[in-house]
Amino acid sequence: MRQNSSSAILFLLPVLLFFQSCTFLEDTLSGGGEDKPSCTEAPDPAPDCSIPGTASVTINNSADGDYKVYTMYGVSGCQKVNLSGVSGKKITVIYSNLSETNCKTIAEGSDSTASYKTAPTYKMLPETQSSGARKTPETVAEFNAHPAPFKTSTVSGSAQYKTLDPALAGEPVAYTTGDAKSWYYDEGKTVAATLRAKVALDTESGAYVHVWVENAEWNNPVTQELVDQVASKFADDGYDIDGTGPRSEEPSIYTMVTRIVGKPWGEHAYSNLISKTKKDIHILYYDIDGHDSNLSGVLGYFWAVHNYAKSNYSSSNEELMFFMDSDYLKSHTGEMLNTLAHEFQHMVHFYQRTVVKGIESPTWLNEMMSMTIEDMTGPYITGKGPENYFYNFFRDPENLLTEFDNGAGDYEKVTSFGTYLVRNYGGTGDTLWTKLVQSEYENGLYAVSDAINNAYGATIPSYSGFSAPDQWWKYAFLNWGASIAMDPSPTYDNIPALYAYPAHTSTNYFATDLNLTLADYDIYENSNPRVYTRLPGVIEPLAHVAGVLTTSATATYTHEVKIGSDMVVTYVVSP
């Protein structure tokens, strides 16, 4: 029921370590505001409140003990909002910009006076104290985002590669431990490496993971012990994709990632791609960015060019492979093991979405899935996921969600949104990420809506006007934003459903007695979210701005707000 400014409708949504602990902002502080969103174009103006027809909305909040969330979706214009029964309550307002392109004006704010409680210096987890990043080399990122067109074969079946030299078609090659080979890692550039481990990936297919190490990096920094650890974490654990097989202490990275998003290669009808019979995985450890005492640089990457035949790209290795940094393997072993799952998701993503679906998947969506794969698999790999990326997001929740420039903030925002989605919309059997990689939508936001629709189903609460499958992302986006204002300590019992980051378990997800277990994330225990005491004047596209209205309201609290197009205002009343 979308209404204009003359007849506003309020939508009620009562649906239901290692960091420095911080408290919620209780008083107005000066300073801060230096790290405000920057919009390259003038923001869309707020409504002109000299125009008659201002509506007044009354919210009754008589219940005690629980958070109350009131989202003004479909409401625009100049509103006088009265919150009743809120004596002594904390009231936070969240502005959410649903526009994918335009900055918006927050009429109640001002860039010159904006202030917030400054976030603390974060205590980084021991495995992530370096300045290394899950970023992708620019050439690689551009190719993966916009791969070369596929060429349809003129013949079918097993004969489709007969028009090409078998070596150029990338038919499977049997390697033996100790084999030496030069691998392309850039256009025309190779590195000499030796196969140091070869381990079966599963119990049926005959596929193997091959761990190669640059010769110059052998024994210092990469040792056989490290190589064996990589191979054992990535490869065979006795389970097949359907969860059968002998019981093992923990599932492998290969088993977990293929269970969540699918196989990395298989049937296709394109003559300029490597053979559909390819099934081995190759991981090459080399010195990606040069030895550096500060250990700065790329942790690893997947480059889809190697899925193409040499007839298209002379620097193709014609293998299913990704690349990992040798220095980091020694200094930050746990983080690098988690990164294996991250890069493997990219490999699977390319096949499942780009090759099978013919979709150029947006980078933010692809990276969100990889960061969240770390969250889902990390407990079995190293005992933890990408916690730092998650918590650091709340220092700056005003970053345009769908813009991805390879910066730390980009990884942080997609980690936060992804971990929110899988904890709240997993659906029966936790199929959200499976449905997402299978979505027919190229638009990443529509793909999220489609996945929620298919995984969570028609039981999802909805606003009038949120039509599936292309609009349900808005529901999740708004609830994600409102979560900024919710402190779950000491438990999640007082948080409405579909908000925050509750613990979640899917029984027998990976195999019998091997559950998918997601830990709860308490953003107020482990970080200090940016919540303004004086609001900024501008909000970026697809971003949230939260501000404290009062920490101890009177019985009836009135807030006058100006709501422009694509802007949604949410009030959170704390218990």
pLDDT digits (tens, 9 = 90+) for 216-230: 999 999 999 999 999
Rounded to two decimals, what is the model's pTM? Answer: 0.86
> Which among 117, 116, 109 has a CA at the least distance from the CA of 536?
109
DSSP H/E element including 567: strand 567-574
Using the predicted structure, report yes or no on whether residue 164 has a pLDDT greater than 50: no
Where does the pLDDT of residue 110 fall: very low under 50, low under 70, confident under 90, or very high at 90 and above?
confident
Percent of the chain with pLDDT over 70: 75
Q: How many domains does the chain have?
A: 2
Q: Specify whether 112 is located in the same domain as 50.
A: yes
427 is a domain residue: no
Interatomic CA distance for residues 286 and 216, integer angstroms: 8
CA distances from 96 to 105, 281, 417 (A): 11, 43, 14
Q: What pLDDT, on the 0 to 100 scale, is given for residue 130? A: 41
Say if strands 132-133 and 504-511 run parallel, antiparallel, or are unpaired. unpaired
- Tokens found for residue 381: 């790999």
- Convert the pLDDT of each residue in 362-380 to its tens digit: 999 999 999 999 999 999 9
What is the predicted pLDDT for the residue at 355? 95
CA 306-300-373 angle, 5° bins: 95
Note the pLDDT of residue 232: 92
Instruction: Decide if pLDDT at 31 tops 90.
Output: no
What does the mean pLDDT of the chain come to? 79
Residues 284 and 375 in one domain: yes
Please say whether the beta carbons of 374 and 342 come within 8 A. Answer: yes
Position 202 scores a pLDDT of: 82
Q: Are residues 50 and 116 in the same domain?
A: yes
Q: Distance between CA atoms of 194 and 176, rounded to whole angstroms?
A: 10
Asked, for residue 358, whether it belongs to a domain, the answer is yes
- Which residue has tokens 């481990």? 197
Asked whether residue 229 is domain-assigned, the answer is yes
Amino acid identity of residue 362, one-letter, is P
Q: Are residues 302 and 184 in the same domain?
A: yes
Which value, in Å, is the radius of gyration of the alpha carbons in the chain? 25
pLDDT at 461 over 80: no
Task: Output the pLDDT for position 65.
Answer: 56
Domain boundary among 315, 350, 383: 383
Judged against a pLDDT cut of 90, whether residue 402 lies above it is answered with yes
CA 252 to CA 195: how far, in whole Å? Answer: 20
Between 510 and 213, the more confident residue is 213
pLDDT bin (cut points 50, 70, 90) of residue 250 is confident
Q: Tell me, what's the pLDDT at 296?
A: 53
Residues 443 and 368 placed together within one structural domain of the fold? no
**Same domain membership, residue 273 and residue 156:** yes
Is the pLDDT assigned to residue 158 strictly greater than 50?
A: no
Q: For the chain, what's the residue count?
A: 575
Higher local confidence (pLDDT), 405 or 168? 405
Tokens of 396: 């700056």
Q: Pick the residue with more confidence: 431 or 263?
A: 263
Let me know whether 228 and 358 are in one domain. yes
Per-residue pLDDT for 145 more than 80?
no
- Average pLDDT (132-148) is 70
pLDDT exceeds 70 at position 124 = no
- Residue 138: enclosing H or E segment and its boundaries? helix 138-145
Whole-number Å distance between alpha carbons of 13 and 72: 10
Are residues 467 and 562 located together in one domain of the fold? yes
pLDDT grade, residue 514 (50/70/90)?
confident
| Residue 206 banded pLDDT, cuts 50, 70, 90 | confident
Q: Give the residue-averaged pLDDT of 536-551.
A: 93
193 and 320 housed in the same domain: yes
Q: CA-to-CA distance for 549 and 93, rounded, in angstroms?
A: 7
Containing structural domain, residue 184? 137-383
pLDDT of residue 83: 85
pLDDT band at 50 (very low <50, low <70, confident <90, very high): low
Beta-carbon contacts of residue 361 (< 8 Å; ≥ 6 apart) = 145, 349, 353, 354, 442, 444
In a domain, residue 395? The reply is no
Q: How far apart are CA 49 and CA 108, in angstroms?
A: 12
Q: b/e for 57-76, b at 16 or more Cβ within 10 A? A: bebebeeeebbbbbbbbbbb
195 and 339 assigned to the same domain: yes
Q: Where are the beta strands (DSSP E) in 73-155?
A: 77-84, 90-97, 104-105, 115-116, 132-133
Question: Among 354, 370, 348, 344, which Cα is nearest to 147's?
Answer: 354
